[in-house]
Amino acid sequence: MIRLRAALPGDVGIIHNFIRRLAAYEREPDAVKMSVPALHEALFGEKPRAEALLAEDNGAAVGFAVWLETFNTWTGSPAMHLEDLFVDEAARGRGVGAAIISHLAKLAMARGCQRLEWMVLDWNEPAINFYRRQGAAPLADWTKFRLSGAALAEAAQREDLSYDG
């Protein structure tokens, strides 16, 4: 029987393993730099940065999701960003992913969020098809940009005109 539950501090190792497996699936197996202690701090520390849930089948973890609230200036309301969703290959096609999306949609609505958004790699047809079956639509007019590494450091070194924050 599939059951969803909020992640607990003792689940951090399981979640970290799922994150590593997701990175491998997304063809970036060496991209995960976050340690288990850093993940624990991000999810359960003094100032949590995200939330997580586990999907279990008869007590064994078969999937997870990590999300965070954001704010949308156009609607003036909170929004929810789904950072990661992963289901074990053996558990796919059994409604686990759909249950996670449904749960997050309910949670978003209960929190007053006007949107539940996420990103998917353009080559990941199985995920794209799954998300379309859930009623999601791609945002074709938007392109994601990123500053990281040296470019982020360089941008941070540029002089501000004036900031009194």
Q: So which residues are the catalytic ones?
A: 131
Distance in angstroms (rounded) separating the CA atoms of residues 87 and 60: 12
Here the contacts of 71-75 (C-beta below 8 Å, separation 24 or greater) are 72/114, 72/115, 75/114, 75/115
Q: Which among 117, 103, 79 has a CA at the least distance from the CA of 2?
A: 103
Pick from 23, 43, 41: nearest CA to 33: 23
Joined together, the tokens standing for residue 16 give 């970290």
CB 96 within 8 A of CB 87: yes
Q: Is 101 exposed, middle or buried (0-12, 13-18, 19+ CB in 10 A)?
A: buried
Partners of 84 in the beta sheet? 66
Closest CA to 84 of 162, 12, 24, 19: 19
